[in-house]
Structure formats: structure tokens, C-alpha cells
Structure 1
Amino acid sequence: MEQPNTWHRGAPPSHRLKHDSRAIVSALVLDGDEFGIADEVDELLSIWASHLAKNQLRRRYYDGENVLKDLGISIPPSLRNIETVVGWPKKAVSAMASRSRFDGFTVGDEALSAQVDQLVRRCNLKRKYKQACESELIAGCDFVTLSKGDVGEPPVIVVTHSAEDGAAKWSERLGRISSGLVIMHYDDSGAPDELALYTDEATYHVDGRDAITVARMAHRMGRPLMEALAYNPTESQPLGQSRITRAVRFITDSGVREALRTEISAEFFTSPQKYLLGVDSDPFENRTRWEAYIGNIFTVSQTEDGSTPTFGQLSQGSMQPHTDYMRALAARFSGETNVPVSQLGVIHDNPSSAEAITQANEPLIMEVTDLNEGNGESLVTIAKMALAIANDATLDTYDALQIAANFKNPLMPSIASQADAMVKIASVVPEFAATEVFWEQLGFGEDMRQKVVQQMGANANQRAILSLMGGGTQAVTQ
């Protein structure tokens, strides 16, 4: 039984995960646990449950659904329920993810290169990488699983999974995942009732939706058919760290409070407080405050002693302190995430030149470069496993295969500047202009590069044939 291509994502209540997540394991033990996987499933479910609350918290910040943390000083109780959103955590993720653009593989073997390109297209790996990269930056890692396709499906099925739906154990000795688990379905209460376990020898599909069933799918890969895309891994956190750190969340909370204070202050700013002195009674008792405020003409009679009431207006509060504080928060956020302040929706001095813009983005570009290097290694492993599955071979078969994952330039230079640099290189090395790398560096996509190279090859063949024909005609004439 192969994994389905669609996955139901639930929102399990964290206070009941510990109890509900063990339902499948208990049933496996009662059924005799014929495959001996109950302990492994139990351990991985415990790892998943222990990280779920924090992963869901990061997701809420990414979605702008974090709850207002009111200090109880400046915000009136009646206005605390106003929906206020600050999208900076999403910007911290998207600013990096948008610059990490997977662009296929370069394979040393020509025949295998065509097969890898076909697998990339049929698995929609480029689109799936974009989705996985976003989830990787939110939670710190994203899991990619592989399986053999059924009849009518692609030869290899590649599926990406958020850390909210999976867990893995890391082997420091082997430098890879030793076993992993993905939750495929949740019941109505939010408890997992269908999952897949990945080990060195097999993949197990455990279905507890009706009766407990376990299907074992053996493989010869010698490692789990599961790979992790990890952002900024360390020795203590080999499966990566989230971009939505505690500092990011704290600054975002301050930004949400300030955004709400600014909104409230703006209301008072547009409706300044006025006063009327020297009146015997309220002259506007028959009008609402709003009618009194928007009225074009109103009259107030003199008092009994003949004095004239005095009308005045209190000075308006300035909005500048709010603007300055929000700018300060944006600068702190930029320092934590390397996202330029100008991208955070705050008025800021714009860079005056292309060099200044590049310099402002340089720290972020360096982070994206590191991200691409780490993800590139994982993608190469995924490509080799996909080849092994498609060709019914072992992973060792492709150990010596020269393969590299390609990413577009994270600097995202303009076509004019990139073309200028490539033309200068080609003027020194003319043969470079005839390579696919030349067109790749110009910013052309994979499909366009292939068309260009094919057309250039066809034109070269045509010129060679015409040359031969011309030479033959000349020989006959002589």
C-alpha cells in the first residue's frame, strides 16, 4: 500500500496529545505487533507531541494570528478586541524563501541526466521545494518522503511534510535521519489515526481509522526514504532552527501593541477634544456627541448674568512618537532577521544606488546562500534515492554519480547587469557562450535553456550539412 498524495492537516489540541497519540500504539501491542515497530512509533510520536505546541505557535505568528499581549496600561479594555495584525514574521520567512529558487540538477551522466530531469518534472519537485522551503523556515525543518508510484502514477512519489505533521530521530554517527514518522490523517478529535513509519529496511503504513492495519513495504535503500530540509542546523539542533525565534516573536508582540495604540490615537487625533466654559447647562443635551461634532452651525445663548460662553479646543496629541517607536521596532526586527528595514512597511531612507541596495541585502543574501548549500545536499540525496527507486537499484549504485542541485542567483541581478558580466567572460573565453551554463547565468529557465541549446545544435548541424554539400558541388565543378 503506497502513501496517498493528499494529507489532511488537523489542529490537535495539545492538552490531549499525550493520551490520544498512543491509541494506535496500544492497538499494535494488543495485536501482537507483528513487525516490532510499536516502540519506535511510540518514541517518534512522543517527539512529535513534545514539539507540536511550539511549532503551532510559530505557525500562528507566521499567519498573523498571534494573540495581543496587552500590558494593561494604555489600551482601553473596550478596544482590546480590535483585530490588529503585524506581518513581520511572515516577511522574515518569505524574504528568504523568495530568493531560494531551485532550478534543477546538473548530472555528469547524460542518460541519467535526462531521467533526473524527467523525475523532477513529473514529481513537480520545483514547486514542492518552494512550499517545503517556507515550512522549513517556519519550523526549522521540513521532511521529504519518497515512495514507488502505483500504476498510472509517476515512477516515484515525492511528498513534503511540515514539522507539524512529522518527527524524526537524527543519527550523529551517520549524519542522517535514522528513523522518521509522518502523520497522514487526524480523527475528528484531532488525534492522529493514520501514519507512516520510515526505517532503514522498510516503510510501514499504519491505518487506525477503522480497524488497525499495518502494511510493510520493504526497500533496499539502506536508509529511510525520508530526508530533512533543515535551516541553520547546529550540533545541538541538527534538524534546524526556526526563523521565527523568541526575539522575533517578542518584537512582533511589541509591534502589535504599538499598531493598536497608533490606531486608537489616530481616532482621537481626528476627533480633538473641545470644551465650552461659562454655560448653565449642557447645550447639546438633545444631540449625540457625533452630531455635535459634525454639525456645521450650532448656537449657544448667553447665560443669565449676560456673559458669553467661551469655546476652546485642547491641543491634539502628536502621532510622531508612535511613528518613531514603530521605526525603532522595525530596526530591531531587521537586526534579528537581516530583512532590510525598507521591506517592513516603515518609512525609511531609501538606498540611493544599486550598490547601496546590494549592500543592504548582503547579510540576507549570505543567509540564503548558506540555506541553498544545505538544501542542495539534501536535494542531491533525494535525487539519488529517486533514481534508485525508479531503476529498482540500491543507493550505493549512485555513490560515484556526479550530481549537483542548481539554484538561481539569490542576489536576483537585473538581466542587463548579468548579461554584461556574461558577455565580458565570453569575450575572454568564446567557448563559454556555447554552453548551457552561459544561458543559465543569463537568467533563462531550464526549459528555455534546453530550447536554446537544441536550436543552436540544430543550426550547427545544418551549417555542417550545407558546408558538406557546398564542398561536394565545388568538387564536381572542378
Structure 2
Amino acid sequence: MELRGIEYLRRKLEFCRPRVNLRYKHYAMQNNDNPIGITIPINVRAQYKSTLGWTAKGVDSLADRLVFRKFENDDFEVTEIFEQNNPDIFFDSAILAALIGSCSFIYISKGDQGEVRLQVIESSNATGVIDPITGLLSEGYAVLARDDYGQPTLEAYFESSATHFFPKGEEPYSVNNPADIPLLVPVIHRPDAVRPFGRSRITRAGMYYQKYAKRTLERADITAEFYSWPQKYIIGLDPDAEPLEKWKATVSSLLTISASDTGEKPSIGQFTTASMTPFTEQLRTAAAGFAGEMGLTLDDLGFVSDNPSSVEAIKASHENLRLAGRKAQRSLGAGFLNVAYVAACLRDEFHYERSQFVKTTVKWEPLFEADANMMTMIGDGALKLNQALPGYINAETVRDLTGIAGDMSAVPVTNEGEPDGT
């Protein structure tokens, strides 16, 4: 395959970078939308900027459930590589970046002592040309460092044979790559034939519903000012009467207004205050739309129901979230397996065949933790299955269902209560 070159990848990154940064701003609750409306002046609306964390909730609700456990059938001992790279932070950081920006990139390099180092780079600072069959890059580009103004100070261009570095204001240099694979590996969330670099968890519909809710809160805040201090009026006041101070007329508990010389008394009234109920209904409508888009419930967004839900009810209401988690485990697991493959090639300085890693699989913790009721149901089901097929459910299977690491040497029992195989 003919290489496109670093200039092509620079333009590609600049084209995609604004969309990724927009989603990071939504996640960080730092996005400022242009004021929209025909009744409230812009200068008034600007004083009541609202902030919502629904986007962060939608991402974290899935990211916190994706917990990497181990590599199974680890014939190439890649687990040691990840254990040397702070796995508790590495996996969480790579997963979160992939959910926000549709993918994250792992920069693989060797340290001074020969150890393999793994660095997570968000998709706003890296890109490449992907092989749709293997999910690896044929060439890659990453910005490894930026200055305070966002300008690149250290760039890297990844080829199969070498990695080329371009420090700002200095001579470029290259480092040979014995792995014969570009040392920039994508970890992609929900890829498909149209979007090989995946899709973000923060969808356009989700951003719209959050903007809609923010505008509702801003209108509610402005209306609350009139709700707190209702407007009053006086009819029939003598033109020669001393004018009232607005602030005094607002906060005073007793106002004295004398009758005119002819004995006419002014009438005092108050305008009807606006109701806050429509804003509450609008906010709930926006929350329902956002929850449906993210696979959440209204309880997750702060609209607490009167009756607390059981664990089974929570799992049933989060069925869409569970399906999204299963899909994310499959796509992200393939990316982590590619990282392990390239890291093993770099560590051993030998280009292994990708087919040699087909037996190595990624294991995840269950998306929902088991409670006492669920463990009882799993125990009854495992007992009945083992009675029909002795040894069918073992300790590893139970851990996959419950997430509890018990005695892995436990032996299934038969119908008579005797260990299987006796």
C-alpha cells in the first residue's frame, strides 16, 4: 500500500480535531452555546448561563462499567507489559478517551532499560490510515506535545520500519522499528464499514437534548426573578403625588399612599406571576430524550422515582446500556489485543504473525455487579446445569457471571453432592 505521507495526515487531523474538541468540551461542561431566543435579550440571557453534566453522566455510566480483567490464554506473556504501565489508569484512560472521541491511540515505545512503554493519546492529537481487516494502522501521525497556544512542539510520523520525530525548531530524527508495524495502535469504539474509526458515545442527538435542557434552565432562572419579585401597579395616582422609589416599593412591608385632594384613592394591584411548571415539564422532556439516547433512566439524571428499584429492575431498565456495554467490550477488546500484539513484537524485536494471537482473548468484569439475590439465582441455575451436564459450570464461569474471585480450584458437584469425576 502506498503511503500518504505526513502532510496528508496533518490535514486529516486538523479536519477532525474540532469535532473531537467539541465533545471534550461537552464532557467537561465547558461548552458555551450561542444564545437562542426571540423574547429575552442576549445581554440578559448571558447573565444566566446554565451548566449541565448529562453528557459526562452518559459517558461515565458506561466507562465505569467497562473494567478490564485479564488476557486469557496469554501465551506471549503480554500481561507483564501492561502491569509495568500502571494498568489501573491505562485501561480507564484509553476506554474513556475512546468513548468521548470515538477512538483513542496507544503510542508504544521502548524505554532506556528496554521496557515497553504505553502512552494513551486522545483522537484530537493522533490519526492514521487504518487497515480495515486487522484494525492496525499502515501509517500514523501523532502530536506528542503542544505549547500553551495549542501549537505542536513535537510530532511523530509512524511507519512500519521506523518512527520519525519532528521537534519544533530542531532537526528531525528517526528511530528504527524492529516490530515492522507502526507503533501507533487505535482502540476504537463501535467501528463499522462507513466509520472505521468508530463513533463517539456523545451523539449529536445527545448534545441537542443537553442544549435544549440548558436553554430551559436559563429561561427558568430569568422567570424566577419575576416569580420572586412580582410586578405591581397603581391606578389613579395623583400626578402631583411624590413618586415612589422602585426599590422601596419592592422590599417595603408597608406602603403609605394618601388620597388626593378630591378624595380619590388609587387602586393597587399585582400582575399574575408566571408559573414554573412548564419549565419543569420541558426539562423532564429533555431528560427523557437524553436518557433514551444514552440508554439511561430518568433516575440516572436526577429525576428520582418514589419507589426504589431492585437490582433486577435496574438491570431491566438499563437493557440498552447493557447492550452498548457488550458492544463496547467487543470493539475495545479487539483494540487492546492489537496493542498487546504490537507491544510483544517490539519487546521481542520480532515480527510475529497476527494469526499467532488468535487464541489470546480479552476478559472483562461483568457490567452489573451481583447482589445476594442474583448470586442465589446463579447458584441454583449452576447446580441444575451441573446435574444435567456434570462440570459444565465451573469456577471460571461463575466468576464471569458474578465478578467475584473465589476459590478457582473449586470442583462442581453432581446431583448426589459428590465432586464431579468421582
Per the shorter chain, which TM-score range?
0.7 to 0.9
Preserved contact between residue 384 and residue 398 of structure 1 (Cα < 8 Å) = no
1:225-240 → structure 2 map (5 Å cutoff): 225-240=183-198
Q: Which residue of 2 aligns with 1:380?
A: 337
Q: Which amino acid aligns with 2:208?
A: F
1:6-405 → structure 2 map (5 Å cutoff): 40-82=5-47, 83-107=49-73, 109=75, 112=76, 115-151=77-113, 155-172=115-132, 174-208=134-168, 210-220=169-179, 222-280=180-238, 285=243, 287-289=245-247, 291-346=248-303, 352-396=309-353, 399-400=356-357, 402-405=359-362
Offset from partner CA, 1:426-446 (integer Å, 9 cap, x none)? 54548689745544644346x
CA 1:342 to 1:231, structure 2 compared with 1: closer, same or farther past 3 Å?
same
Distance 2:288 2:394 in 1: 46
For structure 1, which segment, 327-336 or 359-368, has the greater mean C-alpha deviation from structure 2 after superposition? 327-336
Deviation at 1:132, TM superposition (A): 1.8
Listed as ranges, the gaps of 5+ residues in structure 1 are 1-35, 457-478
Q: Which amino acid aligns with 1:40?
A: G
Offset from partner CA, 1:405-436 (integer Å, 9 cap, x none)? 111111x1333134324433554548689745
Distance 2:242 2:67 in 1: 65
Distance 1:309 1:270 in 2: 25
Distance 2:162 2:194 in 1: 28
Preserved contact between residue 341 and residue 354 of structure 2 (Cα < 8 Å) = no
Preserved contact between residue 162 and residue 174 of structure 2 (Cα < 8 Å) = no
Distance 2:338 2:255 in 1: 79
Q: Which amino acid aligns with 1:324?
A: E
Distance 1:174 1:407 in 2: 22
Deviation at 1:381, TM superposition (A): 2.0
Distance 2:191 2:40 in 1: 40
Deviation at 1:143, TM superposition (A): 0.7
State TM-score, norm by structure 1: 0.76
Distance 1:297 1:273 in 2: 16
Deviation at 1:345, TM superposition (A): 2.8
Distance 2:202 2:18 in 1: 14
Preserved contact between residue 104 and residue 117 of structure 1 (Cα < 8 Å) = yes
Distance 1:437 1:122 in 2: 28
CA 1:64 to 1:74, structure 2 compared with 1: closer, same or farther past 3 Å?
farther
Offset from partner CA, 1:243-297 (integer Å, 9 cap, x none)? 22222222222222111001111121111122223322597846442x4322223
Q: Which residue of 2 aligns with 1:18?
A: none
Preserved contact between residue 96 and residue 364 of structure 1 (Cα < 8 Å) = yes
Q: Which amino acid aligns with 2:287?
A: A
Distance 2:96 2:31 in 1: 18
SS of alignment partner, residue 226 of structure 2: helix
Preserved contact between residue 179 and residue 198 of structure 1 (Cα < 8 Å) = yes
CA 1:388 to 1:286, structure 2 compared with 1: closer, same or farther past 3 Å?
same
Distance 1:231 1:425 in 2: 33
SS of alignment partner, residue 395 of structure 1: coil
Preserved contact between residue 135 and residue 335 of structure 2 (Cα < 8 Å) = no
State TM-score, norm by structure 2: 0.86
Deviation at 1:374, TM superposition (A): 0.9
Q: Which amino acid aligns with 1:376?
A: G
SS of alignment partner, residue 183 of structure 1: strand
Residue 423 in 1 paired to residue 379 in 2?
Answer: yes
Q: Which amino acid aligns with 1:158?
A: L
Offset from partner CA, 1:383-415 (integer Å, 9 cap, x none)? 2333333333333287156322111111x1333
Deviation at 1:327, TM superposition (A): 1.2
Listed as ranges, the gaps of 5+ residues in structure 2 are 411-422
Distance 2:241 2:363 in 1: 76
Q: Which amino acid aligns with 1:321?
A: P
CA 1:284 to 1:178, structure 2 compared with 1: closer, same or farther past 3 Å?
farther
Deviation at 1:148, TM superposition (A): 1.8
Offset from partner CA, 1:106-154 (integer Å, 9 cap, x none)? 2254xx5xx4443322212342221122221221111112112222x7x
Offset from partner CA, 1:184-220 (integer Å, 9 cap, x none)? 1224543223112222222222222x32221222223
